[in-house]
Amino acid sequence: MHADTLIEAKRRARAAGLAARERGDPRAGVLLAGHVLERLVPPPGAVVAGYWPLGREIDPRPLMLALAGRGHALALPVTGRRGAPLVFRRFRFGDALEHGPLGTRHPRAEAGALTPDWLLVPLVAFDDAGVRIGHGAGYYDATLAALRARGPVVAVGCGYAAQRAAPLPRAAHDQPLDAIATERGVLCA
């Protein structure tokens, strides 16, 4: 696909996904958590990276809380320069969070860095093949590429079922998801 055509196709998919997300019920994160805990639990000892939801993103915190209760160490991303891999810091519920760029929230530096084995990845749109459209800055693509170069990791996209799209455009650097979790269930790519 020509670069201009790819950019335009992603722009349209992003706009549709954002519109669908605005109609989502913020309480749907509880349903998402139940589906993941039934079908796709991380292995014992896995470090799980979640995210602090922005705006109307589906809330992964109910799932993160359940996984912490099962003994999983949690981490949240720290956003750096555009397109660079994310850095992850240990997170425990109740920890103070700092404000980061683009409205993000992350643990303070003294929380310490962790390397995740299992990631909950926010999304704007997704398809049945595990292709994800995000906000367009490339953070998760760079992060997954770097982590996968080191060894196996599982990337679970988190979004509303209404954000599901027809096959999405994919560039060579776009990293696929292993599964997608919504308030309606889990789709394994």
Q: Are strands 105-107 and 97-99 parallel, antiparallel or unpaired?
A: antiparallel
Read out DSSP for 42-100? Answer: PPTT--EE-----TT----HHHHHHHHHTT--EEEEE--STTSPPEEEEE-TT--EEE-
- Residue whose entry in the numeric block shows the structure tokens 């020509």: 2
Predicted local confidence at residue 92, as pLDDT: 97
**Residue (of 146, 143, 126, 145) closest to 134 by Cα position:** 126
pLDDT values of the chain reduced to their tens digit, one per residue, 189 residues:
566 688 888 889 888 898 999 999 978 999 999 999 999 999 999 999 999 999 999 999 999 999 999 999 999 999 988 879 999 999 999 999 999 988 899 999 999 999 999 999 999 999 999 999 998 889 999 999 999 999 999 999 999 999 999 999 888 889 999 999 999 999 986
pTM score above 0.85: yes
In CATH terms, the fold of domain 3-188 is: Rossmann fold (3.40.50)
Whether residue 160 contacts residue 35, with contact meaning beta carbons closer than 8 Å, is answered with: no
Domain ranges, ordered by start, for the chain: 3-188
Whether residue 73 contacts residue 113, with contact meaning beta carbons closer than 8 Å, is answered with: no
